[in-house]
A and B are shown apart, each in its own frame.
Chain A
Amino acid sequence: MSTANVLVLRGVRKGFASPDGGRVEVVDVEALELAAGEQAALRGSSGTGKTTLLHMIAGLVRPDAGSIWVAGHDIARLSEVERDAWRARHIGYVFQSFHLLQAFTALENVALASMFAGRAQVERARELLERVGLGARLEYLPRKLSIGQQQRVAVARALVNRPSLVLADEPTGNLDRSNADAALALIREACRESGAALLVVSHDERIVERFERVLDLGHLARPSAGGVGA
């Protein structure tokens, strides 16, 4: 394992109980690596386990087997509490529907994420929001913001803890074409500026083809595919 890799997966498998009492394997990734600062897209059709894979990388779900190294830690071996703390410090997450907290202002949405990492970074939250063009909307509640503005808040929130890895799950799924292009450009630019690696999950070929490196989830399980790159 190269120390330059911010993300390394080996033999990761995850299955769920099916209604008929059997078991359905949802994720089977033999190997996957992402270098520090690298940006890649992960594609796959519906039901291929893209979101589940992101959840495992984020430490929200523990794999049935295998190891997931992020920033030098095998998070598959951490307890849930350790994974929570680790996630807060090292992972930025951008959700498909932004998932902003509706009772909190734009500034609080961003700053709250830093509080769970153990350091309230209100100034950094303010800087990030100014950088994404929301300096005049700091005290706005999400419902007072446009879709594009909400997406920018979500990006700022993902970056507030200076994560080494940003995961974006269908980040443009709810946006029209022009907003989707702008949002993707924003995420990529923001990650580049902060030095964070970026893994974007999408089934939208128009989005996927913007990345130099594309991972196909359907191929990651096969050792012959090398697990890395398209």
Chain B
Amino acid sequence: MSARKFGLFLLARRSLRQHALSTVVTSLSLALACGLVMAVLAISAQSRAAFALESTPFDAVLGARGSQVQLVLNSVFHLETSPGNLPWARYLEIAARPGVRAALPYAVGDSWRGFRIVGTDERMFDPRLLGPKTPRVASGRVFDPTLREIVVGSFVAQRTGVRVGDEIHPSHGVGEHGAEHDEDYVVVGVLAATNTPLDRCLWIPIEGMFRMQGHVLRGDGAEFHAEPDQAIPDENKEVSAVLLAFESPQVGLELDRAINKDGRDATLAWPIARVVAELFDKLGWMNRVLGLVAYLTMLVGAASILASLYDAMHQRRREFAILRALGARRGQLFATIVLEATSIATLGALGGVAVYLGILATAREIVRAQTGVVLELSYFHPALLAVPLASIALGAVCGVIPAWKAYRVEVAEHLAPAS
């Protein structure tokens, strides 16, 4: 680096240090703005991808006639309430359709310590059926469909400390304070983390859900209470949903036409990614408002660079005059001020990355706790590069006006008193 350039850096560095409070406050305001913009853009994009593409090993959900969004929220994300039940025969019928690779019955409505319990069958844990996204048992084993055994999702185990061998009393309903059922379930397995909503669930044999004390089955319309040791006829069984995996998208197209367009008694949410994307689209206005606020904050942050430097120019006229007298060129003073602005903006941009990571870490915990979906800290979005660079460029531009003021300082006016 040449001596002149070194001089410029020394000048800029010392000036920033001399005006440390202003430098820190301005950098912080820009850091917050930068972090907010990055968070709005990157977290929403990552959430959309994580929710739409990675949250389930299934392609579609079949449920009672109603909202596809509600069906997906309830069956895939284990949020909201179930839109209703389907007769067992409907499950058997779709499971037998050519092209349906997997059809798993889901029965919901109970919970334990606020975590939802799903009644299904042991194929849920068979990787030959559902492929690489199949939940894997990390310790213990899969439940025996004829026994009162339960498999626990990784997040549930982590939060509650429940382990293999513990006993669990399911509660009625999906709230935290539902009445406990009489049945005891023994934990026989804990699932490995899938970073999906599956981690927030507990899994029991669907037969157990049918037989849970107080449960009423209305598969054929009439009420049926399963007595101990009494076989449950298929016509009385019912399911909350059927989770489906297809051999090809063509199967989804055909079923979509047959069930959603021509049928009247059920709803097929297919593909799940589309339904989730539609949900995000409906909430898109919120994202845009947040984005607008973040961009405005960034403008205010950049303007604060301009204001702090511009205000300091009046006090620094004599300093500039001295520097000119020592041989500094006007252009060098201009460059020094732009360098100061750029340095403040760079500090702000670096701080912005820290703010973004802070927001992401917080959002990650909230989203994981609420849905089981895990946002990656290492996720890359172009905004993570573009926003800091843009804020540095914006800072440099904001330095131009005060720099021009420094450029125009007349040495003779600000040095020694006239003789």
Contacts and interface: CB of A to CB of B under 8 A. Distances in A.
- Report if A and B associate in a common complex: yes
A78 to B, nearest CB: 13
Interface residues of A, number: 43
Interface of B: 2-4, 6-7, 10-11, 14-15, 17-18, 318-319, 322-332, 411-412, 415-419
Interface in A46-90: 46-52, 55, 58, 60-61, 80-81, 84-85, 87-89
A50 B417 CA distance: 11
A169 interface: yes
Contacts of B322: 95, 99, 101
Contacts of B411: 55, 60-61
A47 B418 contact: yes
B3 A84 contact: no
A164 to B, nearest CB: 14
B419 A95 contact: no
Given A112-B10, A116-B328, A170-B419, 4 more contacts: A51-B415, A93-B325, A97-B416, A102-B319
Interface in A107-121: 108, 112-120
Chain B interface mostly: helix
Given A48-B419, A118-B2, A170-B416, A113 B14 contact: no
A50 B419 contact: yes
Which residue of B322, B323, B332 has the most chain A CB atoms within 10 A of its CB atom?
A: B322
16 contacts: A46-B419, A47-B418, A52-B418, A81-B330, A95-B322, A95-B325, A99-B318, A102-B18, A103-B14, A103-B18, A112-B326, A113-B326, A115-B10, A116-B323, A116-B327, A169-B419
- The 4 tightest CB contacts between A and B, nearest first, are A88-B327, A115-B7, A116-B327, A50-B419
A47 B417 CA distance: 10
Contacts of A49: 419
A99 B18 contact: no
A104 interface: yes
A157 to B, nearest CB: 8
Contacts, number: 108
B319 A169 contact: no
A148 interface: no
A5 interface: no
B4 A52 contact: no
Which residue of B2, B7, B10, B11 has the most chain A CB atoms within 10 A of its CB atom?
A: B7
Nearest to B14: A103
B15 A51 contact: no
Given A103-B17, A116-B4, A116-B7, A169 B416 contact: yes
Given A52-B412, A116-B4, A84 B419 contact: no
A47 B418 CA distance: 7
A201 interface: yes
A219 interface: no
Contacts of B11: 112
Nearest to A203: B419
Nearest to B11: A112
Contacts of B332: 116
Given A51-B418, A80-B330, A118 B4 contact: yes
Contacts of A101: 14, 319, 322-323
Contacts of A119: 3
Contacts of B416: 51, 95-97, 169-170
